[in-house]
Amino acid sequence: MPALALADALTARGVRVSFLGTARGLEAGLVPEAGYELDRAGLRGLERRLSPRFFIFLWSLFKGGFDSLMILRRRRPGVVVGGGGYVSAVPVFVAAIMRRPALIIELDSHMGLANRAIAPFARRVCLSFPIRGKTGGKYVLTGRPLSRRLLAAAPEEGRKRFNLSGDLPVVLVSGGSLGARSINMACAAAFGHGGLRLQLVHVTGRRDFESARRVLQEQGADLENYHLLDYTNDFPQAMAAADLVVGRAGASVLEVAALGKPALLVPYPHATGGHQLQNAEWMAAAGAAEVIRDEELSGEVLRARVMSLLDDPGRLRRMAVASAGLGSRDGAVRIADEVLRLGDVKH
């Protein structure tokens, strides 16, 4: 969660940090677990279709706006930070009405609808990727805030955590927290026949775990070197252990680059503004990744591309160097600097 990485960077400077969120989002569990206070507002994400949920969304703007006003009046923050999305847009708008300085963070390679709407009310917009037309003035390229666990993750620690030997290369396959069905099924088909000359850590997401396991069982897979997981709290260690990362091309490509990992990327074809394809092409242009279009993905294609890379250690090393060259490890610190410049933050 990038917001927690920023909170840690601010806390390290002696700043008091609290969160404003909802009772339904990931923050409801992650924020208290990290030791931060969480104020809950009656906010909801945008419902784009005309349906009963759309009217619930409209009501949430009013209710959540009032809740945000009461919370901000009580907290009296020096700066309000929005992490993107409609849930954070409302507090940023309320902060502007209260004449409190606000900063927003754009995590993707294009400005999302909520951030585009709220940018005029923010005094600073911190970008994770370069975005055409968004330079100078209030726009600052800071990089993505990355967790201390990710930045501290080491290959030896990751191999020990996932019981991986040092004799075979490690491939990490993941489609994000929800999983990516096309990648999951292609991976099971590609590497479920046994005889692997690699070690595979395949994190499916909970939705596709049973389907992937069923495919492996049907193929009589030898799971000695095929580690199938629905979820792991130690994803940074899995990435650190990997010689090659296979996955989607969302903002997490910046985490891949921060650890200097070569990547085989399968952009989600329906991503807003085609930003995942842009992210993948950005890494590929630098020599840090190869790209497979989702419609071209199959078990046969995935196996061929993975093995082609693993069979060329020199190329993998060059890709790793290129990936590290793209990576920014100080995004949280740089955003914290901008927050401190904006206003009278409470210590």
pLDDT tens digits, 190-236? 999 877 889 999 999 988 999 999 999 888 877 789 999 999 989 99
pTM greater than 0.85: yes
User: pLDDT at position 273, please?
Assistant: 80
Residue-level pLDDT at 137: 92
> Where is average pLDDT lowest: 43-52, 75-84, 187-196, 287-296?
43-52
pLDDT at 147: 92
Lowest mean pLDDT among 1-5, 7-11, 176-180, 316-320: 176-180
pLDDT of residue 344: 64
In a domain, 25, yes or no: yes
What's the sign of the alpha-carbon dihedral 224, 227, 230, 234? positive
Average predicted confidence (pLDDT) for the chain: 91
Tokens of 163: 């019981």
In a domain, 95, yes or no: yes
Q: What is the mean pLDDT of residues 147-172?
A: 95
| 213 and 106 in a common domain | no
What Å distances lie between residue 215 and 56, 198, 209, CA to CA?
Answer: 40, 19, 10
Res 229: pLDDT: 95
- Asked if 36 and 155 sit in the same domain, the reply is no
Do 84 and 57 share a structural domain?
Answer: yes
Type of residue found at 169: P
3-state secondary structure of 212: helix
Residues spanned by the domain of 177? 150-326
Rounded to 5 degrees, φ, ψ at 243 are -90, -20
**In this structure, are residues 20 and 68 in contact, taking their beta carbons and an 8 Å threshold?**
yes
290-to-106, 121, 217, 314, 344 alpha-carbon distances in Å = 25, 39, 30, 15, 45
R_g over Cα of the chain:
21
Specify whether 203 is located in the same domain as 294.
yes
Q: Is residue 347 part of a domain?
A: no
Is residue 317 a part of any domain in this protein? yes
Q: What is the three-class DSSP state of 249?
A: coil
User: Could you tell me if 121 and 216 lie in one domain?
Assistant: no
Helices (H), ranges, the chain: 2-12, 27-33, 52-75, 86-97, 113-118, 148-152, 155-161, 181-191, 209-218, 235-241, 253-258, 275-285, 299-310, 313-326, 331-342
Residues 271, 294 within the same domain = yes
How large a percentage of the chain has pLDDT more than 90? 73
Q: Would residue 199 count as lying in a domain?
A: yes
Q: Is residue 18 part of a domain?
A: yes
Do both 318 and 293 map to the same domain? yes
Per the model's pLDDT, the better-predicted residue between 113 and 94 turns out to be 94
Same domain, 70 and 203: no
Q: Are 91 and 72 in contact (CB under 8 A)?
A: yes
Per-residue pLDDT at 177:
66
CATH of residue 27's domain is 3.40.50.2000
Total tally of structural domains belonging to the chain: 2
159 lies in the same domain as 307: yes
**185 and 314 part of one domain:** yes
Does the pLDDT at position 335 exceed 80? yes
Residue 207 lies in a domain: yes
Same domain, 133 and 173: no
CA distances from 314 to 44, 120, 172, 262, 280 (A): 49, 48, 19, 12, 21
pLDDT reported for residue 19: 95
Question: Could you tell me if 68 and 116 lie in one domain?
Answer: yes
